[in-house]
Amino acid sequence: MVASLQPLFAAIDSLSERHCHRVESERDLKTDVIPKVGEYFAAKRSGIFFFDQIPLLDRNLQRILKVALSIELNPIARYLTERHAPVHEGLVTSPKIWSLICPRPDHWHVMAGPIVVRGQLVGALGCTRDRSMPAFDAQNLADLSGICLHLSIWAVTTRSSPQSFKNKLLTARELQIVELVALGRTNSEIGTELWITENSVKQALKRMFRKLEVSSRAEMVARLSSC
C-alpha cells in the first residue's frame, strides 16, 4: 500500500499560514518539512535549494554546486532544466556513467524534482540513497511530482504576496541585502556573502532607505517584514 502524501502537503501548506516573511518560511521548510520528505522516500540524504540563494552559500559549496548544477556535466540538471519534471539517474544515464559523474557512495541513487514559479525553474528538491539501497522507481517519481507541485505553489505565494510591495521597489540584489540585514549580518559580512565590497553595501543601503522612506536598518526590516 502506498503511503499517503497528505501529511506532507499539510506541512507545506502550514508554512504559508505560519509566516508572511520569506526568510522564516524557507527556514522552516528546510528544518521541518524537508527531513519529512527524506523519511517518506527512505532517503540517505535530502535537501532543497533555490538558485537565487547560491551566492549566499559558502564558497566551497558554491564550487560543488557549480559542477552539480551544470547542464553540460550533469544529465539530471539538464533534464530538470529542459522538462521541469522529476527525474532519477536511471532515466538519463547508465550506472557506470553515473558513478563517474557522482562517485559519492551516498549518492549512488539520486532523484530530483523542480520548483517552478511563473514558468521559471527557481529551485530543486533532491533525495539520494546509497548503493545498498533500492533505486528510486516510477511511484517515487509520481510522488515527488506531487510534492514539487505543492512546493511550487508555496514558492509562488512566498515570492509574490506580500512580497509584491518589495519587488516593485527593490532590485533582486537589494532584496538579498534586506534578507541578510534581517538575519543580523554586518555590512562587511553582507559584502563577503554577496561578493561585493563593504562600500557597495553601504551605498545600496542608502538607496534602499530613500526608496522605502526609512532612516535605519531596523525600520527598513520592520517595514518589509510586516504583512
Is 123 part of a structural domain of the chain? yes
Range 165-184 average pLDDT: 77
| Whole-Å CA distances, 197 to 56, 86, 214, 220 | 15, 39, 23, 21
Residue 147 lies in a domain: yes
Q: Are residues 146 and 170 in the same domain?
A: no
Residues contacting 178, CB < 8 A, separation 6+? 166, 170, 208, 220, 221, 224
| Number of domains the chain contains | 2
* 153 and 204 fall within a common domain: no
96 and 135 both lie in a single domain? yes
Length of the chain: 227
* Inside any domain, residue 1: no
Is the pLDDT at 222 greater than 80, yes or no?
A: no
| CA dist 110 → 72, 74, 136 (Å) | 18, 12, 8
- Average pLDDT for residues 203-215, to the nearest whole number? 91
Average pLDDT, integer, range 13-41: 83
Q: Which residues pair with 111 in a beta bridge?
A: 88, 127
Whole-angstrom Cα Rg for the chain: 19
Of 45, 26, 50, which is closest to residue 35 (Cα–Cα)?
Answer: 45
The CATH number of whichever domain residue 169 belongs to comes to: 1.10.10.10
Query: Is residue 124 within 8 Å of residue 152, measured between CB atoms?
Result: no
**Mean pLDDT, the chain, as a whole number?**
85
Say whether both 67 and 141 belong to one domain.
yes
Selection from 23-32, 45-54, 120-129, 211-220 with the highest mean pLDDT: 120-129
Q: Do 125 and 154 fall within a single domain? A: yes
Residue 162's pLDDT is: 47
Spatial strand order of the sheet with 109-117 comes to 45-50, 120-129, 109-117, 87-88
Looking at per-residue pLDDT, the higher value among 211 and 143 belongs to: 143
Query: Can you tell me the mean pLDDT for 45-65?
Result: 74
Give CA–CA dist 66/160, Å, rounded. Answer: 28
Give the number of other CB atoms < 10 A from CB of residue 226: 10
CATH number, domain at 73? 3.30.450.40
User: Are residues 168 and 93 part of one domain?
Assistant: no
Mean pLDDT of 202-208: 93
Domain housing 116: 6-160
Percentage of the chain beyond pLDDT 90 is 44
